[in-house]
Amino acid sequence: MKNTWVPLIFLFLFASRVSAQAIQEQELEGISYRPRIINTTDLGADPDDKQSMVRQLVSASEFDIEGLIVATGCWRKTQSNTKMLDTILDAYAAAYPNLKVHADGYPTPEYLRSLSVMGQTGYGMDDVGSGKDSPGSELIIASADGDDPRPLWVMGWGGMNTIAQALWKVRDTRSDEGLKKFLSKLRLFDVLGQDDAGAWIAKNFPDVFYIRATGVYGWQPPKNGDYQRNAIQNHGPLGAVYPDTQWATEGDSPAFMHVYPNGLNDPGQIDQGSWGGRFDPTRKAGIRSMSEVAKIENDAETQYDPYYMYGNTEEGADAIKRWSKGYNNDFAARMDWSIISNYKDANHHPVAVLNGDRTRRVMYMTASAGNNIVLSAEGSTDPDGNSISYEWSFYDEPSSYEGSVSIMNDKSMKASIEIPENSKGRNIHVILEVYDNGSPNLYAYRRMIINVNP
Ligand SMILES: [Ca+2]
Ligand SMILES: [Ca+2]
């Protein structure tokens, strides 16, 4: 087993990928691309990982998923197989013939199965070190080593020790230069901290990009409510493997929602704000894991003090919740896709055009204080022929300008923005939301960051 899966993974990885050169060309042209992502999950602890996996899979057309890894954490200290994941992938396989009718880019079930492996089978740093390599840790290494200029987002829906094992091995077997190159590809996103490996990583690899999200509750629709029952759970094979909420709903989804390429944000600019929240670009010490981690071992994290991570900004989950209509309807529409075999019988997202630019990238411009500038969504379209509406808003939290900004015609195709006299040298983030009148209404976003001349 151990000798055959590695070449198989390589085969699938390279067969499925856009060439590195093509991606580099797209990057030069500013065309946004699909994020590369590996999710590690403590499936079998809180059933909400199963919920998040359903949302991730039904959204898979937007991502290059390079790994689904079953791992451990403080709520599930051992794992022995991928059965729970396999069951959800079987549901995806049943829904796949419908899903692919509605969007390009859904990975085949066979491809996803080839990337679904076991990570560390034991808990925390006790299961990291010599002789502890797992298919999951090897997959992370192979993926980060791939010939692809894009960063690799590795998400911890449970503990971080499979990622720690990958880092441990690379440090143990490569030069400083090789380690540095490896680290530069990684973007780590840890939900809540669920073992002692996160603190170990942040302490031992202080330059690695490391977000620990703690504002992951409070954005979800009411638990086991009407939306969950009727928009998600009663929708075919994927709905059937979306369990009832036991403690909280989808606490791990903010990880991939942060990199969801919907036009709202550049995920590398973590303070912009995304469907996954907003994060402070200054690393902080002492962002602790869930209290269970210290109950397992009192000095589990304090032994690594100080360690530094990126954490949420003060809005916490409110930074997610402000987009609730967009992400709730997106998920509901995709669940519709999973049971509808005709394109014309479901709704699809509009395309938001900003000042003639049809990509999803964040745009920048300069302006002078006191000027009036016009932003245009002209050319925005809807693939279903729905009528579309526009909404322009000033997003104050990520803007370095502290005052208020008035936008005229904020519900029209063209809006006019008054650049305040006292905004010199600051920036102003303007969000365009384009939404259709299909059912449910679907949203597309764009962001213009206006840098005001000093
Ligand atoms: Ca979890
Ligand atoms: Ca539509």
Q: CA-to-CA distance for 401 and 397, rounded, in angstroms?
A: 9
Query: Which residues is 394 bridged to in the sheet?
Result: 430
Are 303 and 377 in the same domain?
Answer: no
Asked if the structure places residue 343 within a domain, the reply is no
Tokens found for residue 316: 């916490």
Say if residue 285's pLDDT is above 50.
yes
Number of domains in the chain: 2
pLDDT at res. 33: 73
Query: Which residues is 408 bridged to in the sheet?
Result: 416
Tell me how far the alpha carbon of residue 404 lies from the centroid of ligand 1, in angstroms: 39
Are 257 and 382 in the same domain?
Answer: no
Tell me how far the alpha carbon of residue 383 lies from the centroid of ligand 2, in angstroms: 6
Q: Which ligand is nearest to the CA of 192?
A: 1
Amino acid at 176: D
- Kindly report the backbone phi and psi dihedral angles of residue 444, in degrees, each rounded to the nearest multiple of 5, phi listed first: -135, 150
Are 273 and 370 in the same domain?
Answer: no
Burial 93-106 (b: 16+ CB within 10 A, else e): ebbbebbebbbeeb
Helix (H, G, I), strand (E, B), or coil: what is residue 343? Answer: helix
Are 184 and 214 in the same domain?
Answer: yes
* Cα–Cα nearest to 73, from 139, 155, 183, 130: 155
Tell me how far the alpha carbon of residue 442 lies from the centroid of ligand 2, in angstroms: 6
Asked if the structure places residue 55 within a domain, the reply is yes
Tell me how far the alpha carbon of residue 439 lies from the centroid of ligand 2, in angstroms: 8
Are 302 and 382 in the same domain?
Answer: no
**pLDDT-derived band at 11, boundaries 50, 70, 90:** very low
Give the chain's length: 454
Which of 281, 313, 336 is the C-terminal boundary of a domain? 336
Are 210 and 329 in the same domain?
Answer: yes
DSSP secondary structure letter of residue 385: -
pLDDT at res. 62: 97
CATH of the domain at 171: 3.90.245.10
What distance lies between CA 246 and its chain's CA centroid?
A: 23
Lowest mean pLDDT among 20-24, 322-326, 399-403: 20-24
30, 47, 87, 112, 230 from 93: Cα distances, Å? 34, 21, 10, 10, 22
Asked if the structure places residue 342 within a domain, the reply is no
Are 237 and 89 in the same domain?
Answer: yes
Asked if the structure places residue 60 within a domain, the reply is yes
Tell me how far the alpha carbon of residue 51 lies from the centroid of ligand 1, in angstroms: 10
Are 291 and 428 in the same domain?
Answer: no
Asked if the structure places residue 436 within a domain, the reply is yes
- Annotate 162-220 with DSSP letters as a single string: HHHHHHHHHHHHS-HHHHHHHHHHEEEEEES--SSHHHHHHHH-TTSEEEEE---SS-S
Are 281 and 380 in the same domain?
Answer: no
Tell me how far the alpha carbon of residue 381 lies from the centroid of ligand 2, in angstroms: 9
Which of 286, 316, 336 is the C-terminal boundary of a domain? 336
Are 111 and 150 in the same domain?
Answer: yes
Asked if the structure places residue 399 within a domain, the reply is yes
- Annotate 406-439 with DSSP letters as a single string: -EETTTSSEEEEE--GGGTT-EEEEEEEEEESSS
Are 131 and 202 in the same domain?
Answer: yes
Percentage of the chain exceeding pLDDT 70: 93
Q: pTM of the prediction?
A: 0.93
Tokens found for residue 17: 């990928």
CATH of the domain at 401: 2.60.40.10
Looking at every residue in the chain, the average pLDDT score rounds to: 94
Q: Which ligand is nearest to the CA of 50?
A: 1
Are 385 and 268 in the same domain?
Answer: no
Which residues form the domain of 386?
Answer: 348-452
Summarize pLDDT for 371-394 with one digit per residue, the tens.
999 999 999 999 999 999 999 999
- Annotate 250-276 with DSSP letters as a single string: -TTTHHHHHT--SSS--TTSTTS-BTT
Calculate mean pLDDT across residues 335-345: 98
Asked if the structure places residue 194 within a domain, the reply is yes
pLDDT at res. 12: 42
Which of 271, 304, 336 is the C-terminal boundary of a domain? 336
Listed residues: CB within 5 A of ion ligand 1: 42, 49, 157-158, 252
Q: Which ligand is nearest to the CA of 436?
A: 2
Tell me how far the alpha carbon of residue 72 lies from the centroid of ligand 1, in angstroms: 9
Asked if the structure places residue 341 within a domain, the reply is no
